[in-house]
Structure 1
Amino acid sequence: MVIVTGASTGIGAATARELARRGFHVLAGVRRDRDAEAIRGPGIEPLLIDITIPEHVRTLATRVDQDPQRRQLRAVVNNAGMGVNVPVEAFPMDEWRKLFEVNLFGHVGVTQAVLPALIRSKGRVINISSVGGKVAMATYGPYAATKFALEAVSDALRRELAATGVQVVVVEPGAVSTEMPSRAVAAANDLAAAMTPEQQLRYGGLVRAVNAQTVSHTTSCLSADAAAMVIAKAVTASRPRTRYTVGREAALIRLTRFMPDRTLDRALAAALRPHYRAGDRADPST
């Protein structure tokens, strides 16, 4: 048995189907009835779960402990999440807290709730991070902050559980063809519209350029099915790596290992420059 949160669409849905194809019984966490009906199929049992609601998390743990077939929990895939591209200054504090509740605290809560079952089965925790968990690009500060934190939690948890036989694996996707990038662009536009005139002057061109870059990347990125294959490997490999990368943006992670910060700053700025509109300035101070 495997739990996959955030299984309504994208990587989560593709992962649920791939694991079911491989013979696992998948508890697929979704938030709406229509998503439950869409994902339901052989080997896939949809559960209505909002990982930020403690009662839902407790219900999930009870479902695992009281499985009628007495199946062991092989893994939990912490995939639920939301994306947003917005400058640090312009992101309201209540939105910061909401983002951390979904992208970090919810995963910690799910992991805590099912960890006794995973310890009994010597199972696995698979945390879906991001290239943004290693590289914080402009306007990705809030999102990257949640993923950097998830990486840290994963490292600590891996070391804490080493003696129990439970393995902790991080999967770091780059651009993947899902609904998340388009939702992130829409959210960025809404937040940009609410910026003050001074913030618009500082960041308006930057936000538009990042959104254009995001759209351009999604036209040539990997499919959700390709990402699901990597996650399934993390679940099933006899000796899984501590981290798996997905997509061409994984090269950014390698760059951070040896490239000085200022050099990386210039490289990222150069990659973004072609996406600025005519009239927008890459450096509003000039």
Structure 2
Amino acid sequence: MSNDRVALITGTSTGIGLATAVQAARRGFRTVATLRDTGRADRLRAAAADAGVELDVRPLDVTDAHSVGTAFEGVLADYGRLDVLVNNAGAGHIGTIEQEPLSAVRETMEVNFFGVATTTKAAMPALRASGGRLITVTSVGGVVGQPFNEAYCAAKFAVEGMMEALAPVAAAQGVTVCVIEPGAVATEFVKNVGLDERVFAEAGPYAGSLRAYVTSVTGSFQSAQTADKVAEVILGAMTADAPAFRIQTSKQAEQFAAVKFADLDGSAVQRLTGGWLA
């Protein structure tokens, strides 16, 4: 792998983003690892040092258009090119529409959808010039709507729709578009959602269903995939000659997504996800 290829990865403070940044550097990419607050980059820098690789750590807040513009302008000024953008930054959110403020829904969309739209728009001119790759980490929650994830799934569905529509347009310009769909991953993503007893106490008529859902999800994370394994799949999309548009990161994710793709009337998904609330 030529070491003049430049990859920019968002959301690299922990988890999938951190693992992807380190593995990309190992594979010879000049890796620009971005995160909202570079004061939280200690773990990222330590992982790079342990792996014996160098990362170019820079600030980038996907919800701030000025921050995004500055980051991409800096990369092009310093390297003269961009070959890969990995849209990884995102945030989980638990809630149901009757009970939560619309501001929370908008915030979830801002991070998980408009953040991706903003970085994609900024990257496309450079990716067209390099014949590069646009890779976006979505989720099986971008395929199957899941209880108490209305806002989060809406954002991930929107990302999947945008990328599916963009893919042939981008391909005509020499840019390859992929979406990466992890299932349960053993990262801090779930912890950062912020579920505690207060949430259950305030859930009112939804409290029983919410507890049942959380119990189901907690069980699925006992056999969760590691961030390193997801990063290996992302690196495959970055380096393969002709990667697929849609890539699940595990057999479990493939099986889960397959329920939706074969479910023309929606009944199979409703049986599956409704069972989580029993």
How big is each residue's C-alpha offset from its partner over 1:90-144, in whole Å with a ceiling of 9 and x where there is no partner? Answer: 2210011111110010111111112111110010110111101110021111110
CA displacement at 1:264 relative to structure 2: 2.7
Distance 2:197 2:113 in 1: 24
The match for 1:212 is: 215
CA displacement at 1:182 relative to structure 2: 1.9
Picking from 95, 111, 132, the partner of 1:86 is 95
How big is each residue's C-alpha offset from its partner over 1:11-49, in whole Å with a ceiling of 9 and x where there is no partner? Answer: 010100110110111111112233223323423111111
Contact map agreement 2:90 2:111 (CA 8 A) in 1: yes
The match for 1:277 is: none
Distance 2:28 2:19 in 1: 15
Distance 2:13 2:85 in 1: 16
Contact map agreement 1:188 1:207 (CA 8 A) in 2: no
Distance 1:211 1:261 in 2: 23
Structure 2, unmatched stretches of 5+, are: 1-5
How big is each residue's C-alpha offset from its partner over 1:37-80, in whole Å with a ceiling of 9 and x where there is no partner? Answer: 3323423111111110111101111112201x44x311100000
How big is each residue's C-alpha offset from its partner over 1:123-182, in whole Å with a ceiling of 9 and x where there is no partner? Answer: 011011110111002111111000000001101211221211001100011001111112
Give me the TM-score of the superposition, normalised by structure 2: 0.90
Give structure 1 regions of 4+ aligned residues with deviation exceeding 3 angstroms: 187-195
The match for 1:121 is: 130
Q: How many residues align?
A: 265
Q: Structure 1 residues 60, 258: closer, same or farther in 2, change over 3 A?
A: same
CA displacement at 1:193 relative to structure 2: 4.3
Structure 1, unmatched stretches of 5+, are: 274-281
Contact map agreement 2:92 2:152 (CA 8 A) in 1: yes
Contact map agreement 2:25 2:31 (CA 8 A) in 1: yes
Distance 1:249 1:240 in 2: 18
Distance 2:197 2:25 in 1: 37
Distance 2:153 2:188 in 1: 18
The match for 2:32 is: 27
Contact map agreement 1:36 1:47 (CA 8 A) in 2: no
Larger CA deviation: 81-90 vs 145-154: 81-90
The match for 1:250 is: 254
Amino acid at match of 1:144: C
Distance 1:165 1:33 in 2: 33
How big is each residue's C-alpha offset from its partner over 1:210-239, in whole Å with a ceiling of 9 and x where there is no partner? Answer: 112222211211100000000011111111
CA displacement at 1:88 relative to structure 2: 2.2
The match for 1:152 is: 161
Distance 1:188 1:122 in 2: 46
The match for 1:15 is: 20
Give the SS at the match of 1:19. Answer: helix
Amino acid at match of 1:251: Q
Larger CA deviation: 153-162 vs 16-25: 153-162
Identity %: 35
**Superposed CA RMSD:** 1.7
Contact map agreement 1:85 1:207 (CA 8 A) in 2: no
Picking from 39, 55, 58, the partner of 1:44 is 55
Contact map agreement 2:84 2:133 (CA 8 A) in 1: yes
The match for 1:131 is: 140
Give the SS at the match of 2:94. Answer: coil
1:221 equivalenced with 2:233 (yes/no): no
Contact map agreement 1:181 1:218 (CA 8 A) in 2: no
Contact map agreement 2:68 2:119 (CA 8 A) in 1: yes
Give the SS at the match of 2:41. Answer: helix
CA displacement at 1:263 relative to structure 2: 3.3
Distance 1:178 1:265 in 2: 27
CA displacement at 1:192 relative to structure 2: 4.5
Give me the TM-score of the superposition, normalised by structure 1: 0.88
Amino acid at match of 1:253: A
Distance 2:121 2:199 in 1: 33
